[in-house]
Amino acid sequence: MTDLPEAFTSSAFSQLLGVEPLSVADGEAQVRLNLTDPLRNRHNKLHGGALFSLVDIAMGLACSSAHGFDQGSVTLECKINYIRAIDEGSVICVAKVVHAGRRTLVVEAEAHQGDKLVAKAQGTFARV
Please state the separation of Cα 99 from the chain's center in Å. Answer: 17
Number of folded domains that form the chain:
1
The length of the chain, given as a count of residues:
128
pLDDT, tens digit (0-9, with 9 covering 90-100), for 17-58 = 999 999 999 999 999 999 999 999 999 999 999 999 999 999
Confidence of residue 9 (pLDDT cuts 50, 70, 90): low
Q: Would you say residue 84 lies in a domain?
A: yes
3-class secondary-structure state, position 4: coil
- E strand or H helix at 66, and its extent? helix 48-67
Mean pLDDT of the chain: 93
Average the pLDDT over 58-66 and give the result. Answer: 96
User: Does residue 62 sit within a domain?
Assistant: yes
Q: Is residue 55 part of a domain?
A: yes
In a domain, 91, yes or no: yes
1 within some domain: no
Give me the pLDDT at residue 8, please.
56
Distance from C-alpha of 29 to C-alpha of 66, rounded to nearest angstrom: 10
pLDDT for 16: 94
Helix H or strand E segment including 12: helix 12-17
Give the range of the structural domain holding residue 86, as residue numbers without chain letter: 6-127
Query: What CATH number does residue 50 fall under?
Result: 3.10.129.10
**64 falls within a domain:** yes
